Amino acid sequence: MSNIARHVAIIMDGNGRWATERGLKRVKGHERGAETVRTVTTFASNHPEIEVLTLYAFSTENWRRPKMEVDFLMRLLDNYLKNETKTYIKHQIRFETIGDLSRFSSALQRRIAAVKEETKGFKRLTQVLALNYGSQDEIARAAAQLCRSGEAISVETLGRRIESARFGPVDILIRTGGDQRLSNFLLWQSAYAELFFTPTLWPDFDPDELETIIAEFKTRTRRFGGI
Ligand code: FPP
């Protein structure tokens, strides 16, 4: 039986370079990147296999960027959620997040909660945005909880406490922008993910390239440690 692309996760890298190459400000790249988020999400919602699309939108390290860029990303996210609620509804997409939202403004937190509430019944696709997300931190927090509980430590008991593990194992992990690293993204759930690295900058990534990746994924042999 061929591999099923149930959970696709993407590290969206290269917005800044896309803009700089065109003599534009970096934030213009993020603006175009948000359009790619929309087209790729809509494609995924119409794909027969994809149930979960997890996108790395803001890492715990991204706060180190200049304040102007961080503020822009916050506004972009807020506008995206406001303007795209209709897209979530039209394509029956459930919106979810992973990561620590407490550092975001209360207005943005309210926006995120409202879109989650409005879309919670949709089942065609779950789009998970990783926001102020870091995988090591999430695993450490789960381990601390497990220690306090006194329960025996196993893959199952720890896995149950990892916030993002509720969306299941990652089948395809893609990083755009040419670098070949995981940058603290979904480390637990990517244990047996098939990895794809593309030089395409995120604003230039499109559903055709995602289809090509899924076609290659289908040809790979996944043994999950067996033979
Ligand atoms: C990486 O490009 C991208 C980010 C840090 C942010 C991702 C944000 C978006 C795709 C747009 C907004 C998202 C939503 C959901 C509305 P980079 O800036 O690190 O690029 P570079 O490596 O070329 O500098």
Residue 171 is a catalytic residue: no
Q: Quick one: pLDDT at residue 17?
A: 98
Query: In the structure, what pLDDT confidence band is assigned to residue 67 with cuts at 50, 70 and 90?
Result: very high
Atom of ligand 1 minimally distant from the CA of 33: 10
Does the C-beta of 129 come closer than 6 Å to ligand 1?
A: yes
Query: In the structure, what pLDDT confidence band is assigned to residue 219 with cuts at 50, 70 and 90?
Result: very high
For residue 1, pLDDT over 80 is answered with no
Q: Quick one: pLDDT at residue 177?
A: 98
Q: How do beta strands 125-133 and 52-59 pair?
A: parallel
Query: In the structure, what pLDDT confidence band is assigned to residue 9 with cuts at 50, 70 and 90?
Result: very high
Q: Quick one: pLDDT at residue 105?
A: 97
Testing ligand 1's pocket by substitution, the residue of 13, 84, 96 carrying the most ligand atoms inside 8 A of its CB is: 13
Q: Quick one: pLDDT at residue 147?
A: 96
Please tell me the CATH code under which domain 7-132+170-219 is placed: 3.40.1180.10
Distance 65 CA to ligand 1 centre (A): 11
Atom of ligand 1 minimally distant from the CA of 19: 23
Per-residue pLDDT tens over the stretch 70-81: 999 999 999 999
Q: Is 150 exposed, middle or buried (0-12, 13-18, 19+ CB in 10 A)?
A: exposed
Distance 15 CA to ligand 1 centre (A): 5
Q: Quick one: pLDDT at residue 221?
A: 84
Per-residue pLDDT tens over the stretch 146-199: 999 999 999 999 999 999 999 999 999 999 999 999 999 999 999 999 999 999
What DSSP letter does each residue of 54-101 carry, written as one string? EEEEEETTGGGS-HHHHHHHHHHHHHHHHHHHHHHHHTTEEEEEES-G
Atom of ligand 1 minimally distant from the CA of 79: 16
Distance 156 CA to ligand 1 centre (A): 33
d(CA 195, CA 51): 18
Instruction: Work out the average pLDDT over 193-218.
Output: 98
Instruction: Work out the average pLDDT over 28-50.
Output: 98
Instruction: Work out the average pLDDT over 47-60.
Output: 97
Residue 62 is a catalytic residue: yes
d(CA 28, CA 22): 10
pLDDT over 70 percentage in the chain:
100
Distance 197 CA to ligand 1 centre (A): 16
Catalytic residue, candidates 3, 62, 78, 204: 62
